[in-house]
A and B are shown apart, each in its own frame.
Chain A
Amino acid sequence: MMKTKIFRPEKRAVLIQGDQAVVEGALAAGVEFFAGYPITPASEIAEGFARELPKIGGKFLQMEDEIAGMAAVVGASLAGKKAITATSGPGFALKQENLGFATMVEAPVVVVNVQRVGPSTGLPTSPSQGDVMQARWGRNGDQEIIALAPASVTESYELTIKAVNLSEKFRQPVVLMLDEVIGHLREKIYLSTSDEIEIIDRKRPAADQDPDQYLPYQLTDDLIPPMADYGSGLKYHTSGLFHDQSGFPDGKNETAKLMQDRLHNKLHNNLDQIILYQKDIRKDDRVAVLSYGSAARTAISAVNTGRKDNLKAGWFKLQTIWPFAEKEVAELAAQVETIIVSELNQGQLIREVKRAAAGQAKVLGINSYAGELIKPEEIRALLEEVL
C-alpha cells in the first residue's frame, strides 16, 4: 500500500473559497477519504477532494446518491481512515439515517453542510442557516451531535481541522455548518505547516490486544472505547442496534440506557473541549448581538460601527452551535440587559438562547430567511431601538 504523506511543507498564503478551505483543512487534519454526491453550494468541496486526494494516496468516491455517500464514509472510518462527506440541506436530510448510525456505532466522521435556503429545493444558491435544528434533531431517537459553524474562510479551514479532531477524539460524528456565503466567499488565508497543527487520532487498542478479550464498546473511564480498524484481527461486530460492551445487541432496556447515557456523557463531560466561541462584551455593554456563521459577520460589523457612536453593545459569536453553549449564554444573560440573536432562519437557535437566558435578559431575534444576509444597518437600527 502507498504510504500517505502529510500535507503541505510550507506555510503559505492563498486566496480561496470557504469550500476549498474545508478541503485544505481536512487534508491538514489527516483526512484520506471522501465520498459524496454533487449538490449546490457544496460541489466545490467534492471537486477539491477529487483533485487532491489521489496526490496523497487517498480515496475519492462520487457515489450514486447522498445516502450512499454517508454510508461509504462510515465504512471507510471503520476501516481506519479519517473520512469526510459534504452536502447541502436536501442532501443533509438524506444523510440523516446513516449519520444516526455513525453516532450509534461511534464512527468518527465529518459531515459538511453548506446550507442553502429551504424547505425542499428552496433557493439553491442563496445563504441560509435553516438547518440548525435539522443538525440537532434530524435523526430518530435522542442523540447528541457536535456542530461547528465557521464565519470566514479562515475559520472554515480551522474549524474543519477542529471537526476532524473532535470526531476522532470522541468517536463522534461532527457536522460542519457552512452556508452559501461562507462556502463561496473568497478570502486570503494562511495554510499552516503540518507541525503547526494539532492532529488528533482516534484511540486504538494496543498492538498486543488479545482478540478474545477485546471489547469494542468497552466501558472506559473516559467513556470513549478504543476503536480497532477492520482487518486488524480483532474480529468485532458493529451494529446500529443497542449493544453491550461486546458490540452485540442483547435487547435489554438496561443496556440501552447505559449506552444512551454513555453517548451523552462522553460529550457532556467534556464541554470545555467542545464549545468554542468568541466574544467582545465590555463591562458596561447593555446589549449583546449573538450570532454564528455568515450572520456573525454583519452582526460584528454593526456592533463595531455602533461602538464608534458610543452604543453600549457587544458581540458574541458561537463557533460551536451544538452542543449549545448553555453555561456561557446564561452568563451572558446575567451580564447584559438584552440579547439580540441574529440568524438566517425564522428563529431556530434563539429558542436555545431563551432557554439558557431563563429570563435574566430580554431575548430578541433579527432574522432573514429568504436568501439575503441581514444588513448591518438593520442590526444597527434594532440596537438603537433597544438602547
Chain B
Amino acid sequence: MDFEKYLRMDKLPHIWCPGCGHGTILNSFIRAFAESDFDQDKTVVISGIGCSGRATGYLNFDTLHTTHGRAIAFATGVKMANPELNVIVMTGDGDGSAIGGNHLIHAARRNIDLTVILFNNQIYGMTGGQFSPMTPTGDLASTAPYGNIDQNFNLAELVAGAGGTFIARGATFDPRQLKKLYLAALKHKGFSFVESLSQCPVSYGRQNKAGDAVEMLKKQEEDTINFKKWQQLSTEEKKLKYPLGILKELDNPESEYTVRYQKIIEQVNNEGAL
C-alpha cells in the first residue's frame, strides 16, 4: 500500500525527539486512514500547539495548525461550514485537556462528527517538561520540582461523561491496536475520541528516571490491560491499570450535530419560520 501519498515527504524528518512516541501515532493513523474509505482531498486535519501540533505539517491533507488549545473549536467551525469534510483533530494532553479542555467537553457534548486523537505523553514536552493535567500525582516536572500534587484526569472517562459517542484508549507499545482504534474512530459518525498514550523519554523520562523509550514502552504495557480483561477485575485492581480498547461506542448517526442542524434547516424551510 502506498502510504507516502499521505505524507509530505519533503517535510520529513520530523522534529520529534529520538524515542518519542508521536511518530508511532502518526504511523498508525496513516495506516488506519489508508484502510478507511475517506477521500484524502475531502479531509482536514487540525492541530493545536505543542509537540502534537506539529503532526499536521507532515500530513498531506488540508491542514490547519491553530492556536494553543483551540484546535477543536476551529474544527467545529470547519465541520459545520461543510459537513461533507472529514475533520480530524490532533491534540496533546496539555493542548487538549488543559487550555483546550473546555472545547473538548463541549464538542463531545454536541456529538459533532470530529475524530479527536489526543497524544498523551503526560507532560508539556515542547516547552521543557512542565506538568500537565495528565501528569500522574507525585511525578516530577520542571514546574513540580518537589513532586506533582495535582490529580490527573481520567480523560477517556471525562469525554465519555461529557457525551462523546466513541471513546477509546490505545498506547504506542501496541501500534496495531492503535491503528484499529483510529480506523473505528474514523468510521464512527459522531464525536470520537482516542486517548493515545505516548512516551516522552526526554522531557518526562529524564526528570522521572523513567529510562529510555524501550523501558517506557514496557512500563506502558505493565500499566495497561485490555478493556475486556479490565472489566473482570475487582474495584481495587481496576484502579491500578488503564484499560485499552474501545471503552464506549454508541451508534446513533441521527444524534450527530450537523445532522441535527440540517434537520432544523429542513424544518424551517418546509414548515415556515419565525
Contact = CB atoms under 8 A, between A and B. Distances in A.
Interface string B248-274: 000000000000011011011100011
28 contacts: A54-B264, A54-B267, A55-B269, A59-B81, A61-B80, A64-B106, A68-B73, A68-B102, A71-B73, A71-B77, A72-B80, A74-B77, A75-B79, A76-B77, A77-B77, A79-B77, A83-B77, A97-B67, A98-B70, A101-B66, A230-B64, A230-B85, A231-B42, A231-B62, A231-B82, A234-B62, A235-B61, A248-B57
A29 B86 CA distance: 28
A32 B77 CA distance: 12
B106 A230 contact: no
A77 B77 CA distance: 8
Most buried by A among B65, B77, B268: B77
Interface string B69-97: 01001111111111011000000000000
A241 B15 CA distance: 15
For A33, A76, A97, the residue with the greatest tally of chain B CB atoms inside 10 Å of its CB is: A76
Contacts of A101: 66-67
B40 interface: yes
Interface residues of A, number: 45
Contacts of A98: 67, 70
A235 B78 contact: no
A75 B82 CA distance: 10
B1 to A, nearest CB: 19
Nearest to B99: A67
A54 B77 contact: no
Interface of B: 8, 11, 40-42, 44, 46, 56-57, 60-67, 70, 73-82, 84-85, 102-103, 106, 261-262, 264-265, 267-269, 273-274
B76 A61 contact: yes
Interface string A359-374: 0000000000000000
B60 to A, nearest CB: 6
A240 B81 CA distance: 21
Contacts of A64: 102-103, 106
B80 A238 contact: no
B80 A33 contact: yes
Interface in A1-43: 1-2, 32-33, 35
A35 B77 contact: yes
A286 interface: no
Given A74-B77, A79-B82, A248-B11, A237 B56 contact: yes
Given A63-B76, A74-B74, A235 B40 contact: yes
Nearest to B267: A54
B67 A72 contact: no
Contact of A231 (B75, B80, B85): B85
Contact of B73 (A59, A72, A80, A81): A72
Contacts of B106: 63-64, 68
Contacts of A81: 81-82
Contacts of A74: 74, 77
Given A64-B102, A240-B66, A71 B81 contact: no
B102 A51 contact: no
A73 interface: yes
Contacts of A68: 70, 73, 76, 102-103, 106
Nearest to B63: A237
A119 interface: no
Contacts of B74: 71-72, 74-75
A238 to B, nearest CB: 5
B36 to A, nearest CB: 16
Contacts of B44: 79, 230-231
